[in-house]
């Protein structure tokens, strides 16, 4: 378990590495067609602006993941959109086949239960949560990409290492890439289950990890 000090509370908030570890196990299973990723460690971030500043990437390349729920049900859906945009609840409700009044944001307790993460750490992989949820990806996400984080990090930012405590013990034999082509501009960036670890990944690789049966690309932003 890792402790995070929130800006609003002068006490640690516990983070669980399980979701991060499960995602990494899944990513590392693509042996015949490896996934390109770069993992970096930084001070805890909760907002998209804080995260983009630590990663040194444009705000629009952040993949913001938010959990919504249909009122009076246990039906949850993960919404993924560029970090500089907002959810359009009317569009989301229409896609889900419900009235807008029946849609609400998940509570913090629900976020922890469904995703295994604390708010601000939720990654855009609904199919890989402790409780499966469908993922709706805004159609603008594929055009909101950028270069990966530069390898000239801020003083408090560094590459994530397989020697770090969050890395799964059963993947100790894995050699994690310490670079990604800095000339590519098709990457999206997000916290990957922990507020202190960010992932940069090409958009098409992101879709491959998520699995084509587990997402729907649509217009859900404003």
The tens digit of pLDDT for each residue in 54-90 reads 999 999 999 999 999 999 999 999 999 999 999 999 9
Residue 186 in any domain: the answer is yes
State which residues form the domain around 159.
60-218
Nearest Cα neighbor of 116 from 87, 78, 163 is: 78
Q: Strand, coil or helix: what is 179?
A: coil
Distance from C-alpha of 220 to C-alpha of 222, rounded to nearest angstrom: 7
Residue 20 in any domain: the answer is no
Distance from C-alpha of 180 to C-alpha of 191, rounded to nearest angstrom: 17
pLDDT tens for each residue of the chain, 222 residues long: 343 434 444 455 789 999 999 999 999 999 999 999 999 999 999 999 999 999 999 999 999 999 999 999 999 999 999 999 999 999 999 999 999 999 999 999 999 999 999 999 999 999 999 999 999 999 999 999 999 999 899 899 999 999 999 999 999 999 888 888 888 999 999 999 999 999 999 999 999 999 999 999 999 999
Q: How many domains does the chain have?
A: 1
Residue 39 in any domain: the answer is no
Rounded to two decimals, the pTM is 0.92
> CB under 8 Å to 120, separation ≥6 — which residues?
44, 45, 46, 47, 191, 195
Strand 63-70 versus strand 215-218 pairing type: unpaired
Are 175 and 162 contacting, i.e. CB atoms less than 8 angstroms apart?
yes
Are 36 and 25 contacting, i.e. CB atoms less than 8 angstroms apart?
no
We report the CATH number of the domain holding residue 157 as: 3.90.960.10
Question: Euclidean distance between the first and final Cα of the chain, in Å?
Answer: 37
């Amino acid at each position: 378990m890792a402790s995070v000090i929130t800006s609003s509370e002068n006490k640690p908030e516990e983070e669980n590495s399980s979701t991060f570890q499960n995602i990494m196990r899944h990513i590392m299973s693509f042996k015949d067609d490896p996934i390109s990723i770069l993992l970096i460690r930084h001070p805890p971030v909760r907002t998209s602006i804080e995260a983009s500043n630590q990663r040194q990437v444009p705000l629009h390349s952040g993949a913001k993941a938010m959990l919504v729920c249909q009122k009076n049900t246990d039906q949850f859906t993960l919404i993924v959109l560029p970090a500089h945009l907002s959810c359009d609840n009317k569009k989301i409700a229409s896609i889900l086949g419900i009235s807008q009044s029946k849609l609400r944001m998940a509570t913090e307790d629900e976020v922890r239960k469904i995703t295994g993460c604390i708010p601000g750490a939720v990654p855009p992989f609904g199919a890989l949560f402790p409780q499966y949820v469908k993922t709706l990806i805004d159609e603008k996400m594929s055009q909101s990409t950028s270069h990966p984080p530069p390898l000239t990090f801020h003083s408090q930012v560094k590459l994530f290492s397989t020697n770090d405590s969050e890395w799964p013990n059963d993947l100790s034999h894995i050699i994690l890439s310490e670079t990604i082509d800095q000339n590519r501009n098709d990457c999206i960036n997000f916290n990957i289950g922990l507020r202190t670890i960010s992932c940069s990944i090409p958009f098409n690789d992101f879709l491959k990890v998520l699995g084509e049966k587990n997402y729907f690309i649509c217009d859900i932003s404003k």
